[in-house]
Amino acid sequence: MVSKSITQDQIRKLIKRTQIDPQIKKYTHDSKRFKNLTTFRKWQKGKTIYTLSGKNGELLGLIWFGKKRNVLAPGYAFTFAIRIYPPLRGKGYALKFMKEVFTDFKHQGVWLTTRRDNLPAIRLYKKFGFRKIAEAEKELVMAL
């Protein structure tokens, strides 16, 4: 189930998962964003958050948009990120999740950054229609 919200229980699970998931640690800055409830609340301001949940409300995925400019992505107003958690990771749910939530933002100029070595994410973003617009040290900047 996709919701345009995140529950208190999901926030707690997100914080816990962030500290133990090796892929999240390797490819994202989430360990700083979601270190604890205080850092989450500070990060949350101005974000539109969507969750992908299991039948029992289990947090299986997260997408967020935030109004943020990037000098490497002029003309694109919103940043975007997605996380899919086990047991769904690698099973095609990310693309479906993106298709469902992008109706609100697809025409507003969306950009993202991803590590160059995060090949599964790059393939996903390209499949969805993102294209590379710039490169920075270890990251690609992509836009839709």
Is 61 a member of any domain? yes
| Domain around 97 | 2-107
Is 60 a member of any domain? yes
Q: Write down the pLDDT at residue 73.
A: 86
Is 114 a member of any domain? no
Under the banding of pLDDT at 50, 70 and 90, the label for residue 56 is confident
Is 7 a member of any domain? yes
Q: Write down the pLDDT at residue 22.
A: 92
For all residues of the chain together, what is the average pLDDT? Answer: 92
Burial 87-102 (b: 16+ CB within 10 A, else e): ebeeeebbeebbeebb
Tell me the pairing of strands 131-136 and 59-67. Answer: unpaired
Cis-peptide into 87, omega within 30 deg: yes
Is 140 a member of any domain? no
Q: Write down the pLDDT at residue 64.
A: 96
Enter the DSSP assignment of 101.
H
Under the banding of pLDDT at 50, 70 and 90, the label for residue 57 is confident
Mean pLDDT, to the nearest integer, of 76-91? Answer: 92
Mean pLDDT, to the nearest integer, of 26-49? Answer: 94
pLDDT tens, position by position, 93-110: 999 999 999 987 777 789
Q: Write down the pLDDT at residue 139.
A: 93
User: pTM for the whole thing?
Assistant: 0.90
Q: Write down the pLDDT at residue 81.
A: 96
Is 127 a member of any domain? no
